[in-house]
Structures are given as structure tokens and as C-alpha cells.
Structure 1
Amino acid sequence: MREGRHGDTATARPARGFRLSGWTVDGRRLPQTGNTVSIMVTGDDPVVAEFS
């Protein structure tokens, strides 16, 4: 992902027995719950896929 680009995407693929439970960007929970998230990159913000 590169800073300042609109619509950069991240994709998460859970291991067998796990499911994606959500995404956070810079500690803020996103409303998206699908395996792919599209975001605006504004800096060194960590993008985290959460699994359960």
C-alpha cells in the first residue's frame, strides 16, 4: 500500500478452522467484515485483520 492512494486493498485469508472477525486500521474498527477491505492510506497506519 502506498500513502495517498484511494482504494488500496488488503486481503485476509483465514487458516482452516478460523474465520475473519473484523478489521482495524490504526486502532479503529472498520465496519467491513469481508475478507477484502479497501482503504485510503494516509500514513504508517497499521492494518490488522482479526481472526477467531
Structure 2
Amino acid sequence: MMSLPFFGLLAGFGCVLAGQRGAALLLWAVSMVVMLVLFRLHVTDALTIVL
């Protein structure tokens, strides 16, 4: 699941090399949103610590 933003950034870099700036920016923005959603899910996850 955490690899999704990195694959999106890799695809965006491929679009940069292919000269497709709009697609690269779109993939970058989608990757950032996915990373923020995954971060929110990670931060709000309850810890099961027994003290």
C-alpha cells in the first residue's frame, strides 16, 4: 500500500522524460494526496500497548 505514491512519482518522472508536463504534474499531485491519506491513516491508528 505504501508503495503506491512511489510508483506514482516514478510514473510522473517517466512523463517528465517523455515531455508530458501536464500528466507529470497530475501524477505528482495524486501521489501527494495518496501519501497524505496514508499518513493520516497511520497517525490516527490506535496503539495496542499493554503497560
TM class by shorter-chain length? under 0.3
TM-score (norm 1): 0.23
Structure with bigger helix share is 2
Relative contact order, higher structure (CA 8 A, sep 6+): 1
- Structure with greater Cα Rg: 2
TM-score (norm 2): 0.23
Structure with bigger strand share is 1
